[in-house]
Structure 1
């Protein structure tokens, strides 16, 4: 018992320091970031990328502590970063891609992402058939390569499900972000109005209004920068099995940078 006690006294604080200050692992639970991230992917999250706040603490213990807002050594994400964060309205950890920063205007028009009045660069790649997680149904998606600056990623469009092809105009408030999933028809994200203030003349530019739906049913809305946990940098490994049809090649799922 003394041996075990001495080991735990060293290992436990070292683990908490490492996961609180440097990196932690998160497992992808849903298909909202397909094809970039699949269900079961183990992702390394950089905790120092954007500074430290209450949600940076390991094991999500920060949500239970009487800590104030703000972050130490704070920096702002770049458009295109994949970030892990605390849901704006409920106690859930989420992962999405940053497309809007404070002061940006964001809108979806006919499936195109328009930032500050300009559609982002997008190129059709291929049409793929695959089996979504925990189903036996073969689905079809149109794969597009999107680019903002020097960041490029793949998205899926045209899937069956809840589509958000056209939206109101969003103006990102100070201290907030606009986030979307790469699986555009299977991601409940900032495009959905349920987590936002009501639009005024087709424009959403405020945050912090009372919710009109239960917190568990609300979208993430505009996400406060203080809710950041870290940046997803690398797919370490996965238990996901490739389910693409027609002998289409699958992406590498081990030690792959994002």
Structure 2
């Protein structure tokens, strides 16, 4: 009897191979699933680090934002987008939507954000001369473009200087802010 117990104590070599094969297959499956999930997340979301002060106090230098791609844009959403002949991504707030009534006089744009055409609720923006000339003949914001402003209006480079943002240039809307961690420096 003692010999039989000793024989069963050692695993046959084919059992070890099967366990190793199962472990290897589980690792390959897990890595594959991670790549697929990552790819799906990257199709729907991106993360950007804020650079600059144009969105203070809402967003500050080195904050990170989670951006959801391909969503319907509404007034006051914060969006990320690219601008022709400019480096990097911009982050601004949508003020004017396609179809909003507007007019330009003396480099100032009056934008109706109330009922269509009533001009009871308006915003007024000082435009660069180039943008004012471009907008001069418009009485509505054209289809597939948006008027955007930075929350820190005194320093923001936005639609007042580069014009409308085209829908095709918009990456998505900011869904969440990860605040920057500002560590205090210890002085000796």
> For residue 144 of structure 2, what is the aligned residue in structure 1?
175
Matching residue within 44, 62, 75 for 2:66: 44
Corresponding residue to 1:86 among 82, 88, 92: 82
The equivalent of 1:166 in structure 2 is: 126
Q: Take 2:156 and 2:32, find their aligned partners in 1: how far apart are those partners? A: 42
Structure holding more helix per residue: 2
Instruction: State how far apart, in whole Å, the 2-side matches of 1:241 and 1:31 are.
Output: 19
RMSD: 3.4
In the alignment, which residue of structure 1 is the partner of 2:164? 222
Q: How many residues align?
A: 142
- Structure 2 unmatched ranges of 5 or more: 1-23, 113-118
Give the C-alpha shift of residue 108 in structure 1: 10
1:64-213 alignment, distance < 5 Å: 77-90=73-86, 92-104=88-100, 105=102, 114-116=110-112, 117=119, 118-120=121-123, 166-167=126-127, 168=132, 170=135, 171=138, 172-192=141-161
Report the secondary structure of 2:179's partner residue.
strand
Structure 1, unpaired ranges of 5+: 51-76, 121-164, 193-218, 243-258
Structure number with greater Rg is 2
Give secondary structure in 1 for the equivalent of 2:61: coil
- When normalised by structure 2's length, the TM-score is 0.61
Following the alignment from structure 1 to structure 2, what is the Cα–Cα distance between the partners of residues 115 and 181?
Answer: 16
Counterparts in 2 of 1:10 and 1:89: CA distance versus 1, 3 Å? same
Q: TM-score, structure 1 length as denominator? A: 0.46
Structure having the higher strand fraction is 1
The ranges of structure 1 where at least 4 consecutive aligned residues each deviate by more than 4 angstroms after the TM superposition are 106-109
